[in-house]
Amino acid sequence: MTRTEAVNHTSGSAGRAVVVFTDLDGTLMDHDSYDVAPAQAALEALAARSIPVVPVTSKTRIELVPLLARLGLSGPAIAENGAVIVNTDGSPDIADAREKIDLALDALPKNIRKAMICFCDMEIEQIAAATGLTLADATRAAMREASEPFMWQGDAPPLTTLTEILGETLEKFDLRLTQGGRFFHIVPPRDKAAAISALLSEQTPRPQSWVLGDGPNDVSMLLAADRGALIANEHVNTQRSLPADHNLYMSRVSGPAGWHEAITAFLAAEFG
């Protein structure tokens, strides 16, 4: 296992190992304070069973370095909405060159580009103000390798409408648009679900995936999971992006408390 070596798993009721993949902001971490405390007991319960937790986030690889240490996590991670896979040794697998996004932004009609406030347009202090991050963390957030977050001036249109507005230009550069809890993101085709699949495919037999997230950019990975949990989101209505026949666990509360709720339910269902 080149990416995930030295990861030991507890087998679930189906006799397959379990790996937890989780979004961070608004899921494992509080949307505003970035607090993890309400999820700590669930993290410890997973650790007691040697079930690894793999972050899957819009954050950058550089942002994840101190976060992984703070959370007590080791092993692989997925950054920038799937565009960057961080191997166990810290080396990156980058889906596409960041320069392609610069070319796409330059090719947009001027009135559309003017309505977009991208991270690349902002000073570090502005990123900190928009995210609630410290200046040091905002500096790490700006170090994009394969994606670009942005806000829309004025009232943001729905994701489907914005995709139509930007779609023709993004398609020329083989780029996509997705939406997180705070920002829209221009990304390469490899999304969170595809990055998870790449990690799981390296393990034989393929482990069970327990996946947790709260935003529209998490839907594809939730629907592809063996057990998926949509964590309640007070800021974005992610439920409208779900098919009617989904079987996701729907948490009653948001953020790390909802994460604790879902993991506790998954552990009880899998191990009794």
Tell me the average pLDDT across 203-223: 94
Report field, pTM of the whole predicted structure over 0.85: yes
Which tens digit of pLDDT belongs to each residue from 89-101? 889 999 998 999 9
Of the pLDDT bands very low, low, confident and very high (cuts 50, 70, 90), residue 14 is: low
- Cα dihedral sign, 148-69-260-205: positive
What backbone torsions phi and psi does residue 190 show, to the nearest 5 degrees?
-70, 110
Contact predicate 218/198, CB 8 Å: no
CA-wise closest residue to 78 among 66, 89, 92, 67: 92
Q: Which is higher by pLDDT, 1 or 135?
A: 135
Residue 15 Ramachandran class (φ > 0 left, ψ -120 to 50 alpha, else beta): left
DSSP state, residue 13: T
